Amino acid sequence: MRTPVVLVTGANGEIGQALIERLSDAGDIGVLAFDLNPLPDALAARCVATITGDILDERLLQRMVSEYAVQQVFHLAALLSTRAEYTPDAAHRVNVGGTLRLLALAAEQARRDAHAVRFIFPSSIAIYGLPDVATKAAAGRVAEGDYNAPTTMYGCNKLYCEHLGRYYMRHFGQLNARFEPSGVDFRALRFPGLISAVTVPSGGTSDFVPEMLHAAAAGSPYACFVPEEARLPFMAMPDAVDALLGLAAAPREALSQHVYNVGSFSESAASFRERVLRAFPDAEVTYAVDRARTGIVDTWPADVDDSPARRDWGWDPRYGVESAFSDYLLPQLRTA
Ligand SMILES: NC(=O)c1ccc[n+]([C@@H]2O[C@H](COP(=O)([O-])OP(=O)(O)OC[C@H]3O[C@@H](n4cnc5c(N)ncnc54)[C@H](O)[C@@H]3O)[C@@H](O)[C@H]2O)c1
């Protein structure tokens, strides 16, 4: 008998660590954690097993499915936007090749165990590509079908993987003599920038807000790499985990699309800086604008229209910007 598990790839990352806590607290099914790097001991203890290695390592994947029946996948492993731009070939290999391999694995598992495998995929606002700042300002809250013209390798990878997921769910094997759906139940979320009170991000283009905050809490100076007017949507990490779990739990028939925007709040770098200075009056936050990274931020929407997620599966974030600071970020940062 293979042990039934929910597979979390990229388990050691910012989202993975927070997600594993919640999945193991719920205790519905054992967590199998997969990451290039070993998990901290306390987190590993919450999992049925941990696998340290590359999601592109075929032998490792084969060994995994010989021992475990994968019933659900949270496929988080990826190279993030800034890192992907410096190493586009590697990003394509991991972000696209890894996702394709895991979709195939989910289809194999569904066939072998004769039940659908839910496949939850964190996409990103990086799949949008607004042509200029004037269009960005005029566009306001962007809907899923708008401006799907990413300008980064990461955005291209994510948008293509959304299509691969839809393809696996609806069309995979369509020319077979007897066409049967693959059993992959694919669901994607387009996350905004995420802010965790516990972990500091690396390799993302929306990192200026969490970096600013964590530097201030640590008493270190910080130079923000975008100008004060730069604006992106953001979300507190507990809401990001709620979104993943909420979409995963939604009944299939409630879902009218395969990919959903999820939003919480949108502010400029200057307003975040003001909030950080109010919380940490001695903090030193300056600007050292990186034109190239700002160029990428300028192509991402200032805010997203998440009304389909609210309507279809009850998306309703716990935190606005005020409460994200007062009830989640600051209490945890001050006691860290
Ligand atoms: N954090 C954000 O603001 C944000 C926003 C939108 C989407 N996302 C997406 O959410 C997911 C998780 O993001 P995160 O913030 O936790 O990122 P992260 O960089 O903190 O974590 C990614 C994890 O994936 C692992 N990984 C990378 N390549 C791997 C490979 N080949 N094999 C196995 N593991 C590998 C890394 O070791 C790391 O632990 C990613 O897919 C990311 O694109 C994140």
Mean pLDDT in the chain? 97
pLDDT digits (tens, 9 = 90+) for 176-203: 999 999 999 999 999 999 999 999 998 8
Give the domains, in start order, of the chain with CATH numbers. Answer: 78-195+234-264+301-320 (3.40.50.720)
For residue 191, the ligand 1 atom closest to its alpha carbon is 6
Q: Tokens in use for 37? A: 């790097």
Ligand 1 near 81 CB (within 6 A): no
d(CA 88, CA 79): 9
Nearest CA to ligand 1 atom 18: 13
pLDDT digits (tens, 9 = 90+) for 132-186: 999 999 999 999 999 999 999 999 999 999 999 999 999 999 999 999 999 999 9
Percent above pLDDT 90 for the chain: 97
Ligand 1 near 76 CB (within 6 A): yes
- The residue among 335 and 302 whose pLDDT is bigger is 302
Ligand 1 near 80 CB (within 6 A): yes
Burial (CB count <10 Å: 0-12, 13-18, 19+), residue 253: exposed
Ligand 1 near 194 CB (within 6 A): yes
- Whether 335 has a pLDDT exceeding 80, the answer reads no
d(CA 286, CA 289): 9
Q: Using the structure block, give the residue that is written with the tokens 């975040």.
A: 272
User: Given this model, what pLDDT does residue 294 score?
Assistant: 97
User: Given this model, what pLDDT does residue 202 score?
Assistant: 87
What are the backbone dihedrals phi and psi of residue 39, each rounded to the nearest 5 degrees, phi first? Answer: -75, 150
pLDDT digits (tens, 9 = 90+) for 60-95: 999 999 999 999 999 999 999 999 999 999 999 999
